[in-house]
């Protein structure tokens, strides 16, 4: 591992967006492989901060600041990759995510999207207040392996059951795994609707999704 990446990780963990930009820019100029910067610097830092949030060592606002700092660095890396035509490896996995119909909350969803993108996944965020059909159509379109849905309202959570039914009707339920989350969701509800996974927090959701895809590659 390149020693120069330590300060980048520390800058992310200190939520210093400006310093992350400077250090990543310097690393690129010094000829460090942009994929190494992403994988060993930025991605490892955001996984670390996600774990800290999961252990309740930091607050939600700190998680968001760290994710924002990481994305700032990631944008520079992406630009470098495009300019140098570096061959990018395939994404770790394809995921469709959204907040269900009848619910416009997006904070938890957006954090999960940010963390997943920062750690190398291809994420298709369909937004908030989305009907079950939108999840199914997008999953089929992008050949997703996971469909993630969020619900913070008890009135909207029945939509997660409809997503399961629509995936079956479309004939793709056996090709995808589903994960549910949100304030209105618990493990009992996840089991009732037939979801494969349940994530209490965004960081736990990342761990579950990461473990699933790593299992496919073993």
Q: What is the pLDDT of residue 82?
A: 62
Residues of the chain with pLDDT under 70: 1-3, 81-82, 84-91, 107, 217-218
Q: What is the pLDDT of residue 49?
A: 82
Q: What is the pLDDT of residue 59?
A: 87
Model pTM score: 0.67
- Among 84, 102, 117, the domain-final residue is 84
Examine the domain organization and report whether 208 and 137 are in the same domain: yes
Examine the domain organization and report whether 66 and 107 are in the same domain: no
Domain that holds residue 27: 3-84
Q: Is residue 89 part of a domain?
A: no
Examine the domain organization and report whether 201 and 105 are in the same domain: yes
Q: What is the domain-level CATH number for residue 28?
A: 1.10.1240.10
3-state secondary structure at position 183: coil
Q: Is residue 55 part of a domain?
A: yes
Backbone angles phi, psi at 143, to 5 degrees: 60, 50
- Among 39, 63, 84, the domain-final residue is 84
- Among 52, 84, 116, the domain-final residue is 84
> For residues 17, 18, 22 and 23, what is the CA-based torsion angle, rounded to 10 degrees?
-40
Q: Is residue 196 part of a domain?
A: yes
Count up the domains in the chain and report the number.
2
């Amino acid at each position: 591992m390149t020693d120069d990446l330590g300060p980048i990780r520390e800058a992310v963990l200190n939520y210093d967006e400006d310093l992350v930009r400077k250090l990543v820019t310097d690393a690129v100029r010094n000829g460090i492989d942009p994929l190494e910067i992403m994988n060993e610097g930025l991605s490892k830092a955001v996984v670390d901060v996600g774990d800290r949030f999961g252990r309740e060592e930091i607050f939600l606002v700190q998680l968001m600041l760290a994710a924002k700092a990481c994305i700032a660095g990631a944008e520079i890396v992406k630009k470098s990759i495009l300019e140098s035509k570096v061959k990018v490896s395939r994404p770790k996995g394809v995921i469709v995510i959204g907040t269900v119909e009848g619910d416009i909350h997006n904070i938890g969803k957006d954090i999960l999207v940010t963390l997943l993108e920062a750690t190398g996944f291809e994420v298709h965020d369909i937004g908030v207040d989305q009907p079950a059909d939108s999840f199914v159509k997008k999953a089929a379109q992008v050949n997703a392996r996971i469909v993630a849905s969020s619900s913070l309202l008890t009135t909207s959570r029945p939509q997660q059951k409809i997503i399961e039914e629509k995936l079956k009707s479309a004939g793709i339920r056996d090709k995808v795994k589903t994960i549910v989350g949100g304030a209105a969701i618990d493990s009992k509800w996840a089991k009732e609707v037939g979801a494969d996974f349940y994530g209490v927090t965004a960081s736990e959701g990342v761990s579950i999704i990461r473990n699933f895809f790593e299992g496919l590659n073993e």
